[in-house]
């Protein structure tokens, strides 16, 4: 995320001023390596560990499964930059952009919140 911010702000302005050779993110590049490290490895580890840390009822099972699957896909996607076959990196995108969204419908039920006898109490917003 930070790499995209830097690329869209500072690097592009430096390029327009003629003080930077090329502003595109093209593999291999140091900026893209940082980007893949964060999205593939750190996000993958975070999702996987969050999946192991998540406890709760039946809704938590779905969220835990989605986090674990998303984390594993992110980590598998690191094979793309490591091998130079960047098509494999799309597996990581599937993990953090698609699978992680599958848990969102279940997340509100995991928050605990106010309950009465095990049932959710309706509160006004």
C-alpha to C-alpha distance for 4 and 6, rounded to whole angstroms: 5
Cβ atoms < 10 Å from Cβ of 17 = 8
Model confidence pLDDT, tens digit, residues 27-72: 787 778 888 888 899 999 999 999 888 877 777 888 888 889 999 9
- Reported as a pLDDT band with limits 50, 70 and 90, residue 77 is very high
Closest residue by Cα to residue 89 from 13, 47, 37: 37
Q: What pLDDT, on the 0 to 100 scale, is given for residue 79?
A: 93
Q: Tokens 């494999």 sit at which residue?
A: 88
Whole-number pLDDT of residue 17? 79
- What's the whole-number mean pLDDT along residues 18-26? 65
In this prediction, residues 90-104 reach a mean pLDDT of: 79
Q: CA 87 to CA 80: how far, in whole Å?
A: 6
Placement of tokens 């690191």 in the chain:
78
Q: 115 pLDDT band (50/70/90 cuts)?
A: very low
Q: Are strands 115-116 and 119-120 parallel, antiparallel or unpaired?
A: antiparallel
CA–CA dist 103, 123 (Å, integer): 23
Share of residues in the chain with pLDDT > 70 (%): 69
Specify the 3-state DSSP secondary structure of 115: strand
Q: Cis peptide leading into 28, omega within 30 of 0? A: yes
């Amino acid at each position: 995320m930070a790499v995209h911010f830097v690329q869209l702000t500072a690097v592009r302005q430096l390029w327009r001023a003629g003080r930077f050779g090329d502003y595109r993110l093209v593999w291999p590049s140091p900026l893209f390596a940082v980007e893949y490290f964060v999205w593939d490895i750190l996000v993958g580890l975070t999702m996987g560990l969050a999946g192991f840390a998540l406890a709760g009822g039946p809704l938590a099972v779905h969220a835990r499964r989605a986090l674990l699957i998303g984390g594993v896909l992110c980590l598998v996607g690191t094979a793309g930059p490591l091998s130079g076959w960047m098509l494999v990196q799309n597996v990581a995108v599937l993990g953090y952009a698609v699978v992680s969204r599958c848990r969102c419908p279940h997340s509100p039920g995991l928050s605990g919140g106010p309950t009465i006898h095990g049932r959710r109490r309706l509160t006004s917003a």
